[in-house]
């Protein structure tokens, strides 16, 4: 079984719709992250959470929100989707501090298309 799972794997939606992407992990890691990947731009951090009560904005948080429902679950929401949010979204996890020394484990990704 996959350690980091994402649902849905693919989603096509229309401008203005609310979308939630979900991430679950069985690795027992405290730290979870959401990234988006666009061609030629690499991975950019949207939000991250170091534990259940901790939420931090990343490089590109505008237009997104997150919820850390439990240690194992971290959801990303697009309140009103727009076409330039079309991208590949990844969830990742890592062990506790110092986080920068710890490798990140990635989910399989969600391909989101906003029409």
Partner 1 sequence: SQQGEEDPQALSIQEGENATMNCSYKTSINNLQWYRQNSGRGLVHLILIRSNEREKHSGRLRVTLDTSKKSSSLLITASRAADTASYFCATGSGNTPLVFGKGTRLSVIA
Positions touching partner 1 (CB under 8 A) are 4, 33, 35, 40-45, 48, 58-59, 88, 90, 92, 97-101, 103-109, 111
As measured in angstroms, the least distance from the Cβ of 50 to partner 1 is 8
CB 77 within 8 Å of CB 64: yes
Q: CB-wise, 6 or 85, nearer to partner 1?
A: 6
User: How far is C-alpha 13 from the chain's CA centre?
Assistant: 18
Q: CB-wise, 52 or 88, nearer to partner 1?
A: 88
As measured in angstroms, the least distance from the Cβ of 101 to partner 1 is 6
Q: CB-wise, 2 or 115, nearer to partner 1?
A: 2
Give whole-number Cα distances, 47 to 12, 50, 72, 81, in Å: 22, 10, 16, 17
Burial zone of 50 (CB within 10 Å; 0-12 exposed, 13-18 middle, 19+ buried) = middle
As measured in angstroms, the least distance from the Cβ of 98 to partner 1 is 5
């Amino acid at each position: 079984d996959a350690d980091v799972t994402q649902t849905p794997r693919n989603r096509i939606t229309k401008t203005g719709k609310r979308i939630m992407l979900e991430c679950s992990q069985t690795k027992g890691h405290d730290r979870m992250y959401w990234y988006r990947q666009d061609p030629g731009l690499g991975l950019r951090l949207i939000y991250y959470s170091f534990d259940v009560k901790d939420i931090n904005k990343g490089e590109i948080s505008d237009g997104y929100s997150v919820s850390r429902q439990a240690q194992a679950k971290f959801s990303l929401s697009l309140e009103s989707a727009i076409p330039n949010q079309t991208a590949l979204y990844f969830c990742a996890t890592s062990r506790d501090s110092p986080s920068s020394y710890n490798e990140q484990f990635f989910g399989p990704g969600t391909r989101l298309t906003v029409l």
